[in-house]
Chain A
Amino acid sequence: MDELLLSKIRLAIVAELLASQWASFSELQKSVGTTNGNLSAHLGKLVEHAYVEEEKSFVDRRPHSRYRLTPLGRERMIAHVRSLQMLLEKEPQS
């Protein structure tokens, strides 16, 4: 089980990024449905652990951040989902 992905918000962020190449901060905020500060903190952790790559630029003189999943993030997400599935498979026996 991946400790970083035990947070529901971080899991939602990574799931959102699975099918997209890049997603902006505002798109992620809309999809995940959380506050600016909260999303920023969770994204910061994912970036810090190299699960997510951040790119900062200026669009129409405004700062614009976009994010994408790294190969490590994808690998960890798949492994985490497998662990969750295995936990559920074992659950009825215990």
Chain B
Amino acid sequence: MIEGSEASEHLAMVDRIVERTSTRLNVGAEYFVVWGLASATMSLMYQLIGTHLAPANAIWIAWGAALAAVAFSIWRGKCARLERLSFLEREFLTVLKVAMMVTFFVFIIEIFGPNLFGVIGLGAIWSFAASIVLFYIAMHGNRRALVGGIILLLSLAVANYKPDFVGYALSAGMFVGYAGFGALELIASSRASD
């Protein structure tokens, strides 16, 4: 049998483990860096091409960035051991998938008729969806994600009020708010593991 003090110790240990494992939210910071940089490059290239500061065929740089991000995600997904996910992390992945699916849906309807959103509108929708993802992470106690989400919303506001700088604003938002968040998370996790 077990003594009362020992039972109390066992229960405290179980509480600690369950709290740690069920509230763990490892967001995969490298995805944020890669997709933030790719999205920033795409918005920037559309701005530069639209204002004739870059030749039209420079669009391939934007597509190259997107393809590189997709390739990285596939490669990283294969390496990752997705089975060790907490319930919270699974919920986060669902939010991320929904955000990506919404953006992908807009991308598809955009291909068949760019009447409603336009190319840069797609970038704005992705920034909006990305801010929701960051705010979801922020809701679980991550202040860097809160700052990242606010930066993305601010970039949308600037893009709205400064039509000549839409691409620059969205690109800066993605670079600082999204990729910057991922970079800070990577730095924080490497410091924690030292």
Residues of A at the B interface (CB closer than 8 Å) are: 1, 6, 8, 11-12, 15-16, 18-24, 27, 31, 66, 68, 81, 84-85, 87-88, 91
Contact = CB atoms under 8 A, between A and B. Distances in A.
B157 interface: no
B140 to A, nearest CB: 14
Contacts of B85: 20-21
Contact of B83 (A1, A6, A21, A81): A21
Contact of A24 (B1, B8, B11, B84): B84
A81 to B, nearest CB: 6
A23 B10 contact: no
Interface residues of B, number: 21
Interface of B: 1-2, 4, 7-11, 13-14, 17-18, 21-22, 24, 81, 83-87
Contacts of B7: 84, 87-88, 91
A23 B84 contact: yes
A19 B87 contact: yes
Most buried by B among A1, A15, A91: A15
Contacts of A88: 4, 7-8, 11
17 contacts: A1-B1, A6-B2, A11-B13, A12-B17, A15-B13, A19-B21, A19-B24, A20-B21, A20-B85, A23-B84, A24-B84, A66-B83, A84-B7, A84-B11, A85-B11, A87-B2, A88-B8
